[in-house]
Amino acid sequence: DAGVTQSPTHLIKTRGQQVTLRCSPKSGHDTVSWYQQALGQGPQFIFQYYEEEERQRGNFPDRFSGHQFPNYSSELNVNALLLGDSALYLCASSFPGSYVQYFGPGTRLTVT
Amino acid sequence: GNSVTQMEGPVTLSEEAFLTINCTYTATGYPSLFWYVQYPGEGLQLLLKATKADDKGSNKGFEATYRKETTSFHLEKGSVQVSDSAVYFCALSKQGGSEKLVFGKGTKLTVNP
């Protein structure tokens, strides 16, 4: 049973560019959450998708947007990249009502 | 709003030493509490959880008890191993499941042989 997968593993972008990160949830899971983890910090909640709709959103600007597809996979898009967007981006999946979220290995984004 | 405070790291112990990592929380209602572990270069793995007051979560020799009176969820292990070296995160979510996780800043543990 494959766990949560994310792509790419690493990414280097320039300020002002746009980036798309991808996530495939664990089999049987239909809820996907995204977190940003800055170096030396705990993960911060960006948003959560369920049934292709954004269900919850953290305190992140509109430059951060997402999408969920009918197969429950998800994308995180960040526009107009800033140096401060450099971080590990984690995807987590769960099924409705579950207390447990399963995390992927993350995508390391570096903005130069 | 909801928040989690963990003891500052890093923590360095010798193998077989006793481990305590303190965690306190601020939340309305009755949150669920979690400990996640992050090994070098990897994502987060759930270590243990407790969903109501006085529950004890346990896994791989680690334990934590949900103490509502002190709003705490301290992580303990009686005898650490080198393989326990990792970053440990305390987290909470609102009751009910499928809720966002609020994390502490993490505590880095290094266990020396």
Helix/strand/coil for B89:
strand
Hunting for tokens 């305190």 — which residue is that?
A59
Compare all CA atoms of chain A with the CA of B34 and give the residue at the minimum distance: A100
For residue A1, the model assigns a pLDDT of 64
Subunit contact A35:B97, Cβ cutoff 8 A: no
What is the length of chain B?
113
Average pLDDT of chain B? 93
User: How far is C-alpha A52 from the geometric centre of its chain's CA atoms?
Assistant: 14
Q: Which residues of B touch A (CB under 8 A)?
A: 4, 32, 36, 42-46, 49, 51, 89, 91, 93, 96-106
Residue A96 burial class via C-beta count within 10 angstroms: exposed 0-12, middle 13-18, buried 19 and up? exposed
Cis ω on the peptide bond leading into residue B10 (within 30° of 0)? Answer: yes
Nearest-by-CA chain B residue for A38: B105
d(CA B66, CA A23): 32
Å between B90 CA and nearest CA of chain A: 9
Which residues from A are below 8 Å from B46, CB to CB?
A: 100-102
Q: Is the dihedral of CA A85, A93, A68, A54 positive or negative?
A: negative
Tens digits of per-residue pLDDT, A7-19? 999 999 999 999 9
- For A:37-76, CB contacts with B below 8 A are 40-45, 48, 50, 56, 58
Q: Is the dihedral of CA B101, B102, B105, B108 positive or negative?
A: negative
Asked whether the predicted pLDDT for residue A97 surpasses 90, the reply is no
Task: Return the structure tokens found at A37.
Answer: 């983890």
Whether A86 has its CB under 8 Å from any CB of chain B: the answer is no
pLDDT computed for residue A95 by the predictor: 85
Instruction: Give the per-residue pLDDT at A69.
Output: 97
Would you say residue B109 has pLDDT above 70? yes
Give the gap in angstroms from C-alpha A76 to the nearest C-alpha of chain B: 16
Residue B96 confidence (pLDDT): 63
Q: Please tell me the number of Cα atoms within 13 Å of A16 on its side-chain side.
A: 0
Q: Is the pLDDT of residue A33 over 90?
A: yes
Write out chain B residues lying below 8 Å of A45, CB-based: 100-102
A-chain residues near B49 (CB < 8 A): 99-100
% of chain B residues with pLDDT over 90 = 82
Quick one: DSSP state of residue A103?
A: E
Q: Is A36 on the interface with B (CB under 8 A)?
A: no
Phi, psi dihedral angles at A100 (to 5 degrees) = -105, 130
Across the range B18-24, mean pLDDT stands at: 97
Q: Give the chain A residue whose CA is nearest to the CA of B108.
A: A40
Contacts of A103 (CB under 8 A, 6+ apart): A4, A90, A91, A92, B36, B43, B44, B45
pLDDT in tens, B47-96: 999 999 999 999 999 999 999 999 999 999 999 999 999 999 999 998 76
- Kindly tell me if the per-residue pLDDT of B97 is higher than 70: no
Q: Which of B42, B51, B103 sits opposite A99 (nearest CB)?
A: B51
Query: What confidence score (pLDDT) does residue B102 get?
Result: 94
Q: Number of residue pairs across A and B with CB atoms under 8 Å?
A: 61
